[in-house]
Amino acid sequence: MILMTIFPQGDLGLEGIEDLVLDVAKVDLAGVRDDKIVTEWASIHKIMSNVRDLLKMSGYSDKAVEYYENHLNVGIIENPDAQFIYTGPCGDTMELFLKITSAVITDAKFQAIGCAGSFTAGSALTKMINGKTLKYCEKLDEKDILDHLGSMPQQKVHCARLAIMTLKKAIKHYKKRST
């Protein structure tokens, strides 16, 4: 019952990929002909294929594109042990939710308001830290996220920094609260 529509804004060239705005709207499909639904989804698939190609041409690795398309670990954790919201200098904002047991991150999810780079960095970060100790996670930096992803456009490296800063602040806040 959810239909995703994509509204391109501006030039969809390599620089324009970041101008894509995804708008998710609930749609009541009761009474809509099956062939109409199939046509709509086929159109959406074609648009998403174009987004995939544009992301790859912009310098995102296959892994980064996969994370972006699949919304890996995007969401919230109810009653998290640690939670922090951080806004980077570019204006993108990330909120990180952590479940922690015996100084080990047992679950991590995030939400973001930002570009594809913020979402791929958030997904990479949460994948990397699940099952890891806080001590290990405190030593991570943006290079670790970039290495995990394989590649990301140079102008989006700050998104990896946003994810790392959000993690470090979440851990610091958690430790301060726990003592």
**Domain containing residue 115: CATH number:** 3.90.1010.10
Report if residue 10 sits inside a domain: yes
Q: What is the pLDDT of residue 87?
A: 96
| Mean pLDDT for the stretch of residues 9-34 | 41
Which range has the worst mean pLDDT, 22-36, 52-66, 95-109, 127-141? 22-36
pLDDT surpasses 80 at 14 = no
Which residue range(s) make up the domain with 43? 2-58
Q: What is the pLDDT of residue 179?
A: 76
pLDDT surpasses 50 at 134 = yes
pLDDT surpasses 50 at 94 = yes
Q: Which two tokens stand for residue 56?
A: 């790859």
Q: What is the pLDDT of residue 36?
A: 54
Picking from 13, 28, 58, the residue at the C-terminal end of a domain is: 58
In this prediction the pTM is 0.74
